[in-house]
Amino acid sequence: MGKHILILEGDGIGPEIVREARKVLDVVNDKFDLGLTFENELMGGCAIDVHGVPLADSTLERARLADAILLGAVGGPKWDKLDRSIRPEKGLLKIRSQLGLYANLRPALLYPQLVDASSLKPEIVSGLDILIVRELAGGIYFGEPRGIRVLENGEREGYNTYKYSESEIIRIGRTAFEMARKRNRKVCSVDKANVLEATMLWREVMDTLHKEYPDVELSHMYVDNAAMQLVRAPKQFDVLVTGNMFGDILSDAAAMLTGSIGMLPSASLDKKGRGMYEPCHGSAPDIAGLGIANPLATILSVSMMLRYSLALPDVADAIEVAVGKVLDQGYRTADIYTEGTKKVSTSQMGDAVVAALI
Ligand code: IPM
Ligand code: MG
């Protein structure tokens, strides 16, 4: 039986970029005779409009049954004023935690063709190839208690809980060490162990786990320093492993090193390797509907899906080669445009990738 994929276009530029990724999926499905089947559901603001909640139980059920999920992006100003329990982002967080998608892989890879699109000097970023492994189902994003309460003096106080259990640290640590084994065998664990107990334990557990991976080099770095090193000398990193919130922040910074966040795909995996695939960028409501968004992060997310959840590395490679080809041909969406290249729309970029695949 062919594998079944659930598609969640989401909000903002979500539908536009997913449309291009779907074109690519349809072409490889045909060309390599993959027998993939698809279904679409709503998540995020669009789901609030229809179901009153960002992630309906029926959608979550469909997600549990799918072999992989492709997501565009969620959120937008239209839903920002809603009660915080039904914001679009809640749908995303719920699907991540309910499906146990704890391992978020965010590769920051600089395509040589885009070296001038980076905000950093070419010699600092050329050849950059980092993998950020972000813990995605725990930490301060999910810690209880949390809320906004009224204090005795009448003023309000917002509070969250930052915690990590040993088993949560071990499972994401394993992901990082295993990934490093397929790369340059270097893991840098990022924490704030000089201040936060949750990350003191994180560091200790990483050190213990490291004994099982003597062939991989482990270093530790405080998150403030890691942020600085990412823009100072990013090529010192191979695999960076960190908690949910630090990973959120550092992956945006790493994204910009590659020229545009519009280039970065991601995979969120459970313990069996089933996963949800989405671009690292958000729903970009300011450019939604203009046809200028970069679909490459979503197309590259499809490639990660084929590699990690569908065990089709050759097809994944074919898509990555095609993306390299369109960049060689000089096609650029606005976010990666530099003088002398050819500015194209979202759909022209998708078409170019399709043409390069056939
Ligand atoms: C991301 C996003 C999400 C996050 C938001 C939309 C909830 O920024 O995937 O990085 O913070 O995880
Ligand atoms: Mg983020």
Residue 260 has a pLDDT of 86
pLDDT in tens, 77-97: 999 999 888 899 999 999 999
Q: If residue 245 lies in a helix (H) or strand (E), which one and from where to where?
A: helix 244-257
Range(s) of the chain covered by CATH 3.40.718.10: 1-102+272-358, 105-269
Question: Which protein residues have their CB within 5 A of the ion that is ligand 2?
Answer: 248
Nearest 5 degrees, angle CA 299-CA 118-CA 357? 25
Ligand 1 neighbourhood includes 16 CB (under 6 angstroms): no
Which of 355, 343, 342 is closest to 299 using CA atoms? 355
Ligand 2 midpoint to CA 283 (Å): 11
- Nearest residue to 126 (alpha-carbon basis) of 280, 39, 204, 233: 233
Count of CA atoms in the C-beta half-sphere (13 A) of 129:
10
Between CA 169 and CA 206 the distance in angstroms is 7
**Does residue 261's CB lie within 6 angstroms of at least one atom of ligand 1?**
no
What one-letter code names the amino acid at 235? K
Query: Which element (helix H / strand E) includes 110?
Result: none
**Angle value at C-alpha 148, between 143 and 153, nearest 5 degrees:** 130
Give the whole-angstrom CA distance, residue 345 versus residue 290.
9
By C-alpha distance, which of 2, 5, 3, 9 is closest to 283? 9
Residue minimizing CA distance to atom 12 of ligand 1: 248
C-alpha 93 – ligand 1 centre gap (Å): 8
Split at pLDDT 50, 70, 90, the class of 117 is confident
The pLDDT of residue 223 is 98
Fill in the DSSP letter of residue 358. -
219-260 per-position pLDDT tens digit: 999 999 999 999 999 999 999 999 999 999 999 899 889 888
pLDDT of residue 161: 98
**Residue nearest ligand 1's atom 11 by CA:** 248
Q: Which two tokens stand for residue 60?
A: 């979550």
Beta bridge partners of 191: 222
How does pLDDT run across 250-293, given as a tens digit for each residue?
998 998 898 888 999 999 999 999 999 999 999 999 999 999 99
Q: Which CATH number fits domain 105-269: 3.40.718.10, 1.10.3720.10, 3.40.50.1820, 1.10.10.10?
A: 3.40.718.10
Ligand closest to Cα of 73 equals 1
Q: How many CA atoms lie within 13 Å of 251's alpha carbon, on the beta-carbon side? A: 29
Task: For residue 266, give the ligand nearest its CA.
Answer: 1
**CA-CA distances (angstroms) from residue 67 to 48, 266, 273, 274, 305?**
25, 16, 10, 6, 10
Distance CA 67, CA 3 (A): 6
Residues above pLDDT 90, as percent of the chain: 94
Task: Tell which residue, 199, 179, 201, has the closest CA to residue 190.
Answer: 199
Q: How far is 178 from 296, CA to CA, in rounded Å?
A: 27
Mean pLDDT value across the chain: 96
Give tens-digit pLDDT for 301-335.
999 999 999 999 999 999 999 999 999 999 999 99
Q: What is the mean pLDDT of residues 122-134?
A: 96
For 165, how many CA atoms within 13 A lie in the half-sphere containing its CB?
Answer: 7
What pLDDT, on the 0 to 100 scale, is given for residue 24? 98
Q: How far apart are CA 211 and CA 207, in angstroms?
A: 7
Give pLDDT tens digits for 10-53. 999 999 999 999 999 999 999 999 999 999 999 999 999 999 99
Answer whether 92 contacts ligand 1 (Cβ < 6 A): yes
Q: How far is CA 348 from CA 66, 112, 116, 176, in A?
A: 30, 21, 22, 36
- How crowded is residue 137: how many other Cβ atoms within 10 Å of its Cβ? 22
164-195 per-position pLDDT tens digit: 999 999 999 999 999 999 999 999 999 999 99
Query: Residue 277 belongs to what H/E stretch?
Result: strand 275-279
Contacts of 261 (CB under 8 A, 6+ apart): 252, 255, 280, 281, 297, 335
Asked whether the predicted pLDDT for residue 1 surpasses 80, the reply is no
Does residue 70 contact residue 278 with C-beta atoms inside 8 Å?
yes
pLDDT band per the 50, 70, 90 thresholds, residue 73: very high
89 lines ligand 1 (CB under 6 A): yes
Cβ atoms < 10 Å from Cβ of 43: 30
Per 3-state DSSP, the chain is made up of helix, strand and coil in percentages (nearest 5) of 50, 20, 35
Helix (H, G, I), strand (E, B), or coil: what is residue 129? strand
Active-site residues: which are they? 141, 192, 224, 248, 252
What confidence tens digit (pLDDT) does each residue in 136-158 have? 999 999 999 999 999 999 999 99
CATH superfamily of the 1-102+272-358 domain: Isopropylmalate Dehydrogenase (3.40.718.10)
350: pLDDT confidence band, cut at 50, 70 and 90?
Answer: very high
What's the rounded Cα separation, in Å, for the pair 188 and 252? 17
